[in-house]
Chains A and B, each alone.
Chain A
Amino acid sequence: MKFVEILYYFFMLSAAVSAASILFIENLFRAVLLLLIVLLSIAGIYVMSFAEFLAVTQILIYAGGVVVIILFGIMLTSKTSGIAMKVKNTNIFSAALLGCLLMYLLITLLTKDFSDAETNSVDFNSVRETGIKLMTSHLLAFEVAAILLLVTLIGAAVISSGNKNSMARK
């Protein structure tokens, strides 16, 4: 097995193990750190799959933005009574059954005959192609995403502004 394949399997294994241990961990803060490991491993998988722009975007936005904002949410919604943030479990048996059934369904759907991945030529630059595609054929989606980000910014600011006569009541 080549070293590249070993690296690929290593990233997949680290993401899978970290994701599975989010289920079994009680402390909320450590669950977010495990999510960070998952996101960074997925970025590693993207690099191995010739998607470098997506890998850097994943690290910047997910590992640098989403994890921070989730930590904000955890710190602001935990009761400050000195106990570590514990999360209880519920519906374990039904959820486990559902999980096994879903995995079985997805695996039976997936075992078809896909042709294997082609290898890339060396001079294919995914960052350059991404830039070209964003400005030519995916321009509408690009602009709509910009509007969506603007709306999200305004909406989140309005929701969290804490107007006295808007939503909060005693």
Chain B
Amino acid sequence: MIPLLHTLYFGAFLFTIGLLIILIKKNLVMMLIGLELMLNAANVNLVAFNQMYPTSINGQMFALFIIVVAVCETAVGLAIVLHVYKLHNTSVPEEISELKG
């Protein structure tokens, strides 16, 4: 079908975009969005490599468990973000600087 390399390039691009979102945006929820993008990029890579050996679906199983773990982490992360917002009344991570020397 499609050359494997193109899907890998696409996965690398999504990963870089997710990383840039975490670095650039000044909002806690936006960082979680970037994190979801990075995890999805890893999943795309796994499924692309799984296509090389279609009968052993280890890539898809691994991707399934990555989805489960990502969902759990997002849920707990958002609960923590809500608490931080209630405490500091801001969702910009640079203004949360209680521990700053």
Chain A interface residues (CB < 8 Å from chain B)? 4-5, 8-9, 12, 15-16, 19-20, 22-23, 28, 31-32, 35, 38-39, 42, 45-46, 48-51, 53-54, 57-58, 61-62, 65-66, 69-70, 72-74, 76-78, 87-92, 94-96, 98-99, 102-103, 106-107, 110-111, 114-120, 124, 126, 129-130, 133-134, 138, 141, 145, 148-149, 151-152, 155-156, 159-160, 167-169
Contacts and interface: CB of A to CB of B under 8 A. Distances in A.
Interface of A is mostly: helix
Nearest to A159: B79
Contacts of B65: 141, 145
Contacts of A78: 91
B14 A118 contact: no
A101 to B, nearest CB: 9
A20 B17 contact: yes
Contact of B78 (A73, A148, A168): A73
Interface of B is mostly: helix
B51 A95 contact: no
B50 A87 contact: no
Given A118-B51, A156-B75, A8 B24 contact: no
A1 to B, nearest CB: 10
A70 B32 contact: yes
B10 to A, nearest CB: 5
Q: Classify chain B's interface size.
A: 35 or more
A129 B1 contact: no
Given A117-B52, A152-B72, A156-B79, A134 B61 contact: yes
B96 interface: no
Contact of A117 (B4, B12, B37): B4
Given A53-B60, A89-B25, A62 B67 contact: yes
22 contacts: A5-B2, A9-B6, A16-B13, A42-B44, A49-B7, A51-B47, A53-B64, A61-B67, A62-B67, A65-B71, A69-B75, A70-B29, A70-B36, A72-B78, A90-B26, A90-B94, A110-B5, A129-B57, A148-B69, A152-B75, A155-B76, A167-B87
Nearest to B30: A87
Given A62-B36, A88-B92, A141-B61, 5 more contacts: A54-B60, A90-B25, A98-B19, A116-B3, A134-B61
